[in-house]
Chains A and B, each alone.
Chain A
Amino acid sequence: MKKKFLQVLAMLRGLLIVLKYAFKKPITIQYPEQKRKLPVISRGRHILTKWKDGKERCVGCELCAIVCPAQAITVRAAENKPGEEHSHGERYAADFQINMARCIYCGLCEEACPTGAIILGNDYELSGYTRESLIFTKDQLTEKNPGDCGRDPNREI
């Protein structure tokens, strides 16, 4: 009898708790108007970074393409010609494409990269009307000026 009474009491207390929550501020936000500030380490759209002097970090080693579990990355490497070096190494990425429709944002490419060229940014609004529009080319991926992505352009990796 006493147990049953306590159970009914617990039900009433539950009702009061729910009523209390009705007066709290909702934790959901109005998404397209209000956007959440993501933590820096969250993984979104890729960025190809540059050195301080404006040269590309990517040396065309294709480790990211090899490690990619979704096979989303395509790299075509080419030799740096004397006089017009793109990177500090012998080679550079003549073409670099990431298929955002395939990418699973695991971040393994960022871990595999020996020069710290490819990093995952915070941009998560990646959608398009065609499959072609989701294949990001080197121009789209490369940051315009060194340090645009928020990382120190002088860092080693």
Chain B
Amino acid sequence: MSVTCIVLIKGLVLIGILFLSAAYMTLCERVLMARMQLRLGPNRVGPFGLLQPIADGLKLLTKERFQPDNIEIFTYWLAPAISLFIALAVFMLIPFGDPIEIFGQTITLWIANVNVGLVFLLALTSLAVYGVVLAGWSSNNRYSLLGGLRGTAQMISYEIPMGLSLLTVVLLAGTLNLSEIVAAQKDHWFIWTNPLSFIIYIITAFAETNRAPFDLPEAEQELTGGYHTEYGGMKFALFFLAEYVNILAVSALAVTLFLGGWYGPGNIPILWFFLKVACVVFFFMWVRATLPRFRYDQLMSFGWKVLIPLATVNLLLTSYLVLR
């Protein structure tokens, strides 16, 4: 089998896993939120409501295809695709485990082993803002425009502390390659070496994925739907999938960079990876059920006046201690 073929198969399997887990994350989130609010949550479709995501998907797929008047047609249709594409593209860099042997062939459990992986990853995630801003701008709606503007400001502002906190990991590991970063954490996870970086990263991850308490771009109560107000049916579903795949992406990245990747007791590397990702994802849902939304000025002043100085000082201290 040629190398291209293997990579294609790996990509398809990964996309399948991602879509399925994103669909079931919606169910998981709804049930968790319900339990935290003393409700029961969806439990009617199938046993324990397990078929609920499929019912939702069918509903969204069979909805009428519409587009509002006076929109920028090309960008309007392009924006959800950009969102989902960027969210999925992040995953080609994430290593899931050590290379394994299948049918006498060595299969690496990552799609691309880029030697400047982290820089490439930051470049990809900063493209994600285009999905939001183009959707907000092209749909010719005030709510959408406001959501898009907020999203742009928020994602660009929080990119800086995220990058700064990731640089500390690069300093500690001495490499930009993600699988080598994981290998550097075999005995000692970077969350224990530098917990402040991890906290800053998690906070910015919330902002980058537009999740509560930083869900200003789609703030239901203020902006009806924010940047995806004018989107319905499968176009909306693409945004929705992109949001959940994004959560998976930032969780996988947190696991890769701070929580020791696939290392853990016992010989179950891939399972450890998924377990850790599931824990981080649970944290995302838990926070959503707890914290109220930030005000826009609070968000901005928190990002620029607290996180960026903190991340900078953290980076300087780490580099002093590492390079001393």
Task: Assess whether B36 is in contact with A21, with CB atoms less than 8 Å apart.
Answer: yes
Q: How far is the CB of A112 from chain B (nearest CB, A)?
A: 40
Task: Assess whether A18 is in contact with B36, with CB atoms less than 8 Å apart.
Answer: yes
Task: Assess whether A27 is in contact with B291, with CB atoms less than 8 Å apart.
Answer: no
Task: Assess whether B287 is in contact with A15, with CB atoms less than 8 Å apart.
Answer: yes
Partner of A26, one of B34, B287, B290: B34
Task: Assess whether B38 is in contact with A26, with CB atoms less than 8 Å apart.
Answer: yes
Name A123-147 residues within 8 Å CB distance of B: none
Partner of B291, one of A11, A19, A21, A30: A11
Partner of B35, one of A14, A15, A17, A26: A26
Interface mask (B26-55 → A, CB under 8 Å = 1, otherwise 0): 000000101111111000000000000000
A11, A18, A26 — most chain B CB neighbours (10 Å): A18
- Determine if A22 is an interface residue (Cβ-Cβ < 8 Å): yes
Contacts of B36 in A (CB 8 A): 18-19, 21-22
Q: How large is the interface on A (under 10, 10 to 19, 20 to 34, 35 or more residues)?
A: 10 to 19
Q: How far is the CB of B234 from chain A (nearest CB, A)?
A: 32
Q: How far is the CB of B20 from chain A (nearest CB, A)?
A: 25
| Chain A facing B: main interface SS | helix
Contacts of A17 in B (CB 8 A): 290
Contacts of B32 in A (CB 8 A): 22
Interface mask (B135-151 → A, CB under 8 Å = 1, otherwise 0): 00000000000000000
Task: Assess whether A19 is in contact with B286, with CB atoms less than 8 Å apart.
Answer: yes
- Determine if B289 is an interface residue (Cβ-Cβ < 8 Å): yes
Knowing A15-B286, A18-B286, A19-B286 are in contact, say whether A24-B38 is a contact too (CB < 8 A). Answer: yes
A19 to B37, CA, bound (A): 10
Contacts of A19 in B (CB 8 A): 36, 286
Interface mask (B275-302 → A, CB under 8 Å = 1, otherwise 0): 0000000000011011100000000000
Task: Assess whether A21 is in contact with B38, with CB atoms less than 8 Å apart.
Answer: yes
Partner of A15, one of B37, B39, B290: B290
Task: Assess whether B40 is in contact with A26, with CB atoms less than 8 Å apart.
Answer: yes
Task: Assess whether B37 is in contact with A30, with CB atoms less than 8 Å apart.
Answer: no
Contacts of B291 in A (CB 8 A): 11, 14-15
Name A18-53 residues within 8 Å CB distance of B: 18-19, 21-22, 24-28, 30
Q: How far is the CB of B288 from chain A (nearest CB, A)?
A: 10
A29 to B206, CA, bound (A): 33
A17 to B38, CA, bound (A): 12
A30 to B49, CA, bound (A): 13
Knowing A22-B32, A26-B34 are in contact, say whether A14-B290 is a contact too (CB < 8 A). Answer: yes
Knowing A11-B291, A14-B291 are in contact, say whether A26-B286 is a contact too (CB < 8 A). Answer: no
Contacts of A25 in B (CB 8 A): 38
A25 to B36, CA, bound (A): 10
Contacts of A27 in B (CB 8 A): 38
Q: How far is the CB of B41 from chain A (nearest CB, A)?
A: 8
Q: How far is the CB of A9 from chain B (nearest CB, A)?
A: 14
Task: Assess whether B286 is in contact with A28, with CB atoms less than 8 Å apart.
Answer: no
Task: Assess whether B40 is in contact with A28, with CB atoms less than 8 Å apart.
Answer: yes
A122 to B39, CA, bound (A): 25
Task: Assess whether A21 is in contact with B37, with CB atoms less than 8 Å apart.
Answer: yes
A25 to B39, CA, bound (A): 9
A122 to B244, CA, bound (A): 46
Contacts of B35 in A (CB 8 A): 21-22, 26
A27 to B286, CA, bound (A): 20
Task: Assess whether A30 is in contact with B286, with CB atoms less than 8 Å apart.
Answer: no
B32, B36, B39, B291 — most chain A CB neighbours (10 Å): B36
Q: How far is the CB of A36 from chain B (nearest CB, A)?
A: 14
A17 to B289, CA, bound (A): 11
Q: How far is the CB of A5 from chain B (nearest CB, A)?
A: 13
Nearest 5 pairs between A and B by C-beta?
A18-B290, A22-B36, A22-B35, A27-B38, A26-B40
Q: Which residues of B contact A (CB under 8 A)?
A: 32, 34-40, 286-287, 289-291
Q: Which residues of A contact B (CB under 8 A)?
A: 11, 14-15, 17-19, 21-22, 24-28, 30
- 4 more A-B contacts (CB under 8 A) besides A19-B36, A21-B37, A28-B39? A14-B290, A15-B286, A17-B290, A28-B40
